[in-house]
Structure 1
Amino acid sequence: MKIHCLGPKKLLRAAFLLCIGVFLLAGCAQKAPQTPLVGPGLNAEALWSQFTQTHAKNFVPKTLDATASLQYKGRRAGRVNVRFWGDFSRPLRLDLSAGFGTTVALVREDASRLVCYYPQDKLALYSHTGPQAALDAGLPLPFTLQDLALLMAGAYPSLAAQKYSRADIQPNGNWKYFFSHGTVASITLDSIGQPVELTGQHKTLGWTLLLGRYTDEEGQSPRPKKLELRLSTGDIAILRTKNFSLDSTQWNAKALALELPPETLLRPMDSRLQPEN
């Protein structure tokens, strides 16, 4: 069967809108209401402490295996299916496919490099792992596949390590915490200490990440099943988790490999080198 693929610029946008984002799930059962940690008027420090203890403590699981759907709206619109698996310490693999099993892109991230392979174009783009990878892809957002894996698992160690500079109570009773440095400008926590919004900015592009539909599973940190990324350009990406599992056993190397055919053209992930579409 012939594999069809969109152009690399469109695919990179979709892949990184996912890599951040980010993100929500429909159709889940209503969970029992939780008792708020703090009542009106109690200080922000107590809620922040609950967040750090619940969501930012040492993360025990070693691997994840997840499926999801990614919907994006704005200047371009569409939906792709997502398979996301690997080790939290990396490597991580992410496959994007359209309807009828059409392969869109295959992505692999390890500690040193991110590779995006587009079968139809016989093209693979690579970049050093880190925020710069998204910048090179033309989407200036500070998330990696590792960041996404932790977000989907409800773990925020890198965020909680920051000491907030100011906290403001919101009209609905949530607390919004601001940071003087780092990639995240603010985190908003609800009344039980769950993150419901992250914001940030790179140059002139602002972004807001909404997190919702948290799980309520005994013995596990709550995790968001829906993540929605909104850009100041008006573009929106929504990741809805379908299946998600954690394990303490690492994947074998073969399962996380991305073998490129011999005829593949390998290029740096630099927008100046990407063909226009």
Structure 2
Amino acid sequence: MEKFKTKIAIVSSLTAVMILAGTASAYAAVPAASKGQATEISAGAKADKKTASPEEQVYNLVTKLQPGEMIAYYIPDKKINLTDRILFSGKGYVLTDYDAYTAKAAQMNAPSLEIPETYPKDYKFKSGVLYLKEPDESSELYKKLDKQLRAEAAKGGKEFYTIPVEDGTGEASGAALTFVKGSVEISLYASHVKPPKPMEGTPVPFSNPDEKTETMVIGGIKCTYTTAPKLKSRLSWTDTSGSVNYSIFADNAKADVLRFAKAIIEPEAK
């Protein structure tokens, strides 16, 4: 089950580039559902013929979405859905043409992430990704979807319920740019800063005992470089306005990560 919880989280977060990367059109379209109707998804059978978990069913549905499509879903089981909220997953846009990426980013009000003028020229642009923004909990759209999903769940009989989000925000919650040099790949991420959602009980912060961090200052901005076994190293910081979080990911390329960071941060600090 943990495997599929991770997959759902990936779709909803910036690390979704691992799923979205490649040819976006390779994914099949989701069968059309009647507007405003909860859509039942049949539980696919695993190799051992056990019923697929709700997380697996949601993940399988998301992989079939077209770029720009999003679903809202609700899992009544509080052992799985700890916050008892409706959730969202969607497929953003993967663009291999940089001009197309910048145009789409502007259209979707994405957080600022462009190729810096002084970026390491030995790296080549590979792709840009734009991630879909979820409806805000205070919005009428969120309240409408929440009401519809809970009404369906009240009837019982299913493990989870889903509705296509047909009138979404049209905006991007985050963006990513990937560059390559031979076998080395570096990915830059930017996401709008948003306050954490309140949780019942005492929150337990996530910690990785194998994680090592190093603090450094670049262009007057405090940055944190993090390494951990089996994970890509990353450099993270927040811009001077406090509105955008940035991260740069790469394997065994710290010097180049710092070159990219300086190219992004130092012009802003002037």
Question: Do Structure 1 and Structure 2 share a fold, with TM-score over 0.5?
Answer: no
TM-score, with structure 1 as normaliser: 0.30
**Structure with more contact order per residue of length (Cα contacts < 8 Å, sep ≥ 6):** 1
Q: Which has the larger radius of gyration?
A: 2
- Which has more strand, going by share of residues? 1
TM-score, with structure 2 as normaliser: 0.31
